[in-house]
């Protein structure tokens, strides 16, 4: 088998294994709940029969491994279970399916994250590459100093700073609704997108710069310069083939970071996304929703990192042209 294919398959297998173990961890969290949460969810006044029915619905009368198989099979078919909220002690069941709660918010979050990535990735690659090429210049130093500062700021501080400065221009509440036009939506998410751009550009720019400087210091670049190749040729023909892997890693790492950073930013701007849903479900201890959100976040995170690895392997000249 071609070494590239072999390594990629190996990496994919490892990624699937990780996903599998993570799903077990997330699933077993429900088993860690103290005491009888049927009583807790339904309230003190619930009849024993109602509690019993609720327990049977959750499958608590079955062994754990059987419950896991049922759960993962349902998840793979897109059924994430039923929310705990909306259950009454009388046994009346007004609860909604988790997917119904998650779906519209997931698309909102993806819209926000995608829009941020669209601005942040090109901007930070440009800043990182130019800073690495003009190393130790005033430009490099000032970009560096600014990014070191924004990196250490918590997201909510940056968000409120931006609100104070830009409140007159952009709306400070990002309460988007499904029937809004694209232009209105973009205006509404301008401030959260800008906050995340600031955080992520700082990380991404610094990592790109470090990776490139590492690369430009390697002997074969020096060799290419010494043999008289032009600057553009050195970068495009010699540096770039080896730079794809670190750059892909940087981008994927930061997109994964975006997935997490979105939680705080969504809460600041009251954006109806999945991060806010998770926070709400955690504070009301709505475990099925929290589990579903955690699963979505973890899967996105793992898949993005996996993608970076695969890109790194596929573009690696040493693997592409084995001796």
> Where do contacts with other proteins occur on this chain (CB under 8 A)?
18, 21-22, 25-26, 29-30, 32-33, 135-136, 148-149, 151-157, 160-161, 163-164, 167-168, 172-173, 210, 213, 217, 256, 259-260, 263-264, 267-268, 278-279, 281-283, 285-287, 290-291, 293-294, 297-298, 301-302, 305
Please say which residue, 76 or 164, places its beta carbon nearer to other proteins: 164
Please say which residue, 27 or 244, places its beta carbon nearer to other proteins: 27
In angstroms, give the least distance from the CB of 306 to other proteins. 10
Q: How far apart are CA 319 and CA 323, in angstroms?
A: 9
Please say which residue, 22 or 229, places its beta carbon nearer to other proteins: 22
Please say which residue, 151 or 319, places its beta carbon nearer to other proteins: 151
Q: How far apart are CA 175 and CA 230, in angstroms?
A: 52
In angstroms, give the least distance from the CB of 322 to other proteins. 27
In angstroms, give the least distance from the CB of 146 to other proteins. 12
Please say which residue, 2 or 141, places its beta carbon nearer to other proteins: 141
Contact 156, 264 (CB under 8 A): yes
Scanning the chain, the segments in alpha helix (DSSP H) are 3-28, 37-42, 48-58, 64-76, 98-133, 138-152, 155-166, 182-188, 190-216, 219-226, 231-233, 240-268, 274-283, 287-314, 317-320
Contacting residues for 10 by C-beta, under 8 A, at least 6 apart: none
Contact 12, 4 (CB under 8 A): no
Shortest CA distance to 102 belongs to which of 220, 302, 277? 277
In angstroms, give the least distance from the CB of 1 to other proteins. 25
Please say which residue, 50 or 290, places its beta carbon nearer to other proteins: 290
In angstroms, give the least distance from the CB of 309 to other proteins. 12
Q: Give the C-alpha distances (Å, rounded to integers) separating 133 from 28, 149, 203, 212.
A: 50, 22, 18, 8
* First-to-final CA distance of the chain: 15
In angstroms, give the least distance from the CB of 135 to other proteins. 7
């Amino acid at each position: 088998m071609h070494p590239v294919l072999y390594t990629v398959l190996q990496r994919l297998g490892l990624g699937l294994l990780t996903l599998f173990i993570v799903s077990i961890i997330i699933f077993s969290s429900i088993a860690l709940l103290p005491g009888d949460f049927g009583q807790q969810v339904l309230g003190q006044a619930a009849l024993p029969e109602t509690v019993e029915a609720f327990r049977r619905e959750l499958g608590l009368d079955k062994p754990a491994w059987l419950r896991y198989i049922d759960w993962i099979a349902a998840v793979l078919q897109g059924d994430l279970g039923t929310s705990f909220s909306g259950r009454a002690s009388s046994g009346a069941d007004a609860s909604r399916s988790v997917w119904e709660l998650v779906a519209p918010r997931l698309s909102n979050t993806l819209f926000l994250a995608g829009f941020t990535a669209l601005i942040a990735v090109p901007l930070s690659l440009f800043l990182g590459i130019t800073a690495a090429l003009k190393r130790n210049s005033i430009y490099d130093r000032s970009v560096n100093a600014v990014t070191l500062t924004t990196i250490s700021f918590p997201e909510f501080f940056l968000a409120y700073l931006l609100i104070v400065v830009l409140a007159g221009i952009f709306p400070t509440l990002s309460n988007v609704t499904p029937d809004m036009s694209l232009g209105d939506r973009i205006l509404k998410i301008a401030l959260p997108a800008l906050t995340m751009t600031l955080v992520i550009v700082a990380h991404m720019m610094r990592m790109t710069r470090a990776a490139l400087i590492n690369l430009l210091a390697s002997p074969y670049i020096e060799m290419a310069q010494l043999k008289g190749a032009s600057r553009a040729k050195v970068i495009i023909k010699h540096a770039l083939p080896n730079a794809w892997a670190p750059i892909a890693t940087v981008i994927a790492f930061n997109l994964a970071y975006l997935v997490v950073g979105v939680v705080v930013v969504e809460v600041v701007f009251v954006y109806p996304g999945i991060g806010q849903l998770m926070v709400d479900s955690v504070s009301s201890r709505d475990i099925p929703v929290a589990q579903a959100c955690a699963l979505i976040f973890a899967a996105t995170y793992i898949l993005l990192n996996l993608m970076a690895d695969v890109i790194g392997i596929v573009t690696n000249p040493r693997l592409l042209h084995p001796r």
